[in-house]
Chains A and B, each alone.
Chain A
Amino acid sequence: MTAKVAITLWMIGVTAAMFLLVPAQQGLGNTGRIIIFHVPTAWLSELAFLVSAVWSALYLWKRRPVDDDRALAAVEQGFLFTILATVTGAIFAKVVWGSFWNWDPRETAILVLLLVYGAYFALRSAIDDLERRRQLAAAYALFAFAMAPLLTFVVPRLSDSTLHPNCAFLQTATCKGITLSANGVGALGETILELRGIRHEGDLVTADVAARRGGGDATLLQPSYNTHTGQQVVQPKLAGTNFMLVIKQVNGDGSIFLNQQAAGNQSQLGNLRTLGTFLASLLGFTGLFWWIWKLRVNVMGLRRELTLDGLR
């Protein structure tokens, strides 16, 4: 009971903070706030996969029905959180990237999760014999889980880069960019870049970059960067992509470090209030996950006891 009240109040607090404390993001406006909900739900839907695999393995080992209850409850939670993450993500994607679904690697990964969870439920409902149902469901959950590491290698190959801000979202993380010296040529995703020149005007560094994609003509982009403040001043859009070309760094030897990023990815969590709200949200959702999971396990255990009692 206390858990229910505590979690409810906590989530109300997080929601309030999401609108009151977190600053509206440049270029994204209020839509950016959704990541406070989106990212924790996405993380938890992946965690649920791990949790269900662990309890499934334990069931196959010890054959305690309660372990199967735990695995099933984890899949239920995973399904719920996957849907939450997909819906929040799709809203964000529609506003920022222009369509609800983009076959971005993470979208593909979460779709696979949804399919696995759905298949798990379908399998369970198609088997009457309880022992057989538990065992086959556990085996399937483990098999799907064994395929997961491969998916992390395969899925990024579906598109050359990600709309998800891997690199800019958390300040410590870095994307794979390229370092170019004058007249250097390099590839950023499928775009071929040629650095034609670098101009210095006080603190402002402007690069002349010829960008070519596929067999098309080169377009001249002029991203600029303030070495004093470390801010990207001009971020031209890369033709044929949803990304901006940015100068991430100007090196001492005159070369520059270039990268691509989606709109509105400027280190949002760099803001301390935002980071705090995000962590509070993560904590709240984890509590919610754990609480519902526990509740479901108890209900399933009770139902099992009652069935057995009814038979006596």
Chain B
Amino acid sequence: MTGAICTTAIWFSRSMHTPTERPQPTLARASWAVFQKDLRAELRTRYALNALVMFALATVLMVSINLGSQLLGSEPLTPLVNAVLLWIVLFFAALTGMARAFVQEETAQTAALLRLHAPPLAVLIGKWLFNTLLLAGLTILTTLTFGLLMSLHVGNLPLLLVVLGLSSLGLATTTTLIAAIIAQANVRSALFAPLAFPVLLPLLVIAVQTTDLAFSGAAWNQALANVQLLVAYVLLTAASTMLLFPLVWEA
């Protein structure tokens, strides 16, 4: 902490210093500041939170109203159909919620403030943390309500948790970069789905397949290859997002 006191002294003396002497923000501190700022603003307005929760509930209810009543008398849906339905809900909920992180900054013209003061990677990490948190909450909520309303049977619960966790990470990472791209375009919301879908397709395919395995109670060794692919997707998107985000942000 002595370093901090030192920079304060230099800073407060109002003397000019050369750029090399200027206080250097640490990436972790700056990222956390961005995350906290977003979280605080969100908790005060709850725009995204309310919209997302309502969206998720509405879609789950929509599925349940139409299918749930049929389930009583007849055959239950196959695990694959359940997995597809769950992921349709999750995918569109993510598309609804994830764009806000950047689009809001651009429409409210607050992005300039971030560009002037924040290191680009701090913006990425802060926004990514916020999006991941939001999506994780959304995934838990959606899966729970979906499971209850559709009387879902989960054969391999730990596998389901792993799949949902990894997929949420991948989904949050990809959509964070795509949101940063579309935030700077004219027709923002209309662009999100077309840009995100092709790059999310690999993730969605494996996520649906592995969720199917988890519902039908497959053993771990059956799902291992899928889990590896999910990890590969997360790592690949994380690496390319880290490399490309500064170029997108400074465009």
Contacts and interface: CB of A to CB of B under 8 A. Distances in A.
Given A112-B201, A132-B251, A143-B240, A119 B181 contact: no
A122 interface: yes
B247 A135 contact: yes
A158 B185 CA distance: 34
B187 interface: yes
Interface residues of B, number: 29
B201 A151 contact: yes
Contact of A142 (B185, B233, B240): B240
Given A115-B194, A116-B198, A118-B194, 6 more contacts: A123-B181, A147-B198, A155-B202, A155-B205, A157-B209, A158-B205
Interface of B: 177, 181-182, 184-187, 191, 194-195, 197-199, 201-202, 205-206, 209, 229, 232-233, 236-237, 240-241, 244, 247-248, 251
Residue in B198, B237, B247 with the greatest tally of chain A CB atoms within 10 Å: B198
Given A136-B251, A150-B229, A115 B186 contact: no
A157 B232 CA distance: 15
13 contacts: A112-B198, A119-B197, A123-B185, A126-B182, A127-B185, A136-B184, A142-B240, A142-B244, A147-B198, A147-B236, A147-B237, A150-B202, A157-B205
Given A136-B248, A136-B251, A142-B244, A119 B184 contact: no
Contacts of A175: none
A90 to B, nearest CB: 20
Nearest to A135: B251
Contact of A119 (B177, B195, B229): B195
A160 interface: no
A127 B244 contact: no
A43 interface: no
A116 B201 CA distance: 11
B185 A136 contact: yes
Nearest to A128: B186
A144 interface: yes
A36 to B, nearest CB: 29
Nearest to B196: A119
Contacts of A139: 181, 244, 247-248, 251
A154 interface: yes
A147 B229 CA distance: 12
B205 A150 contact: no
Contact of B233 (A128, A131, A150): A150
Contacts of B197: 115, 119
A127 B229 contact: no
A71 to B, nearest CB: 14
B240 A146 contact: yes
Contacts of A128: 186
A154 B206 contact: yes
A59 B185 CA distance: 19
Contacts of A140: 181, 195
B251 A143 contact: no
Nearest to A154: B202
A137 to B, nearest CB: 9
Contacts of A112: 198, 201
Nearest to B186: A126
B221 to A, nearest CB: 16
B12 to A, nearest CB: 38
A146 B237 CA distance: 8
A138 B243 CA distance: 13
A60 interface: yes
A127 B186 CA distance: 6
B230 to A, nearest CB: 10
A89 B192 CA distance: 30
Contacts of A131: 251
Residue in B194, B229, B247, B251 with the greatest tally of chain A CB atoms within 10 Å: B251
A282 to B, nearest CB: 27
B199 A60 contact: no
Nearest to A117: B198
B236 A146 contact: yes
B244 A143 contact: yes
B245 to A, nearest CB: 9
Contacts of B237: 146-147
Contacts of A146: 236-237, 240
Contacts of A123: 181-182, 185, 191, 195
B236 A150 contact: yes
A51 B228 CA distance: 29
Residue in A127, A142, A158 with the greatest tally of chain B CB atoms within 10 Å: A127
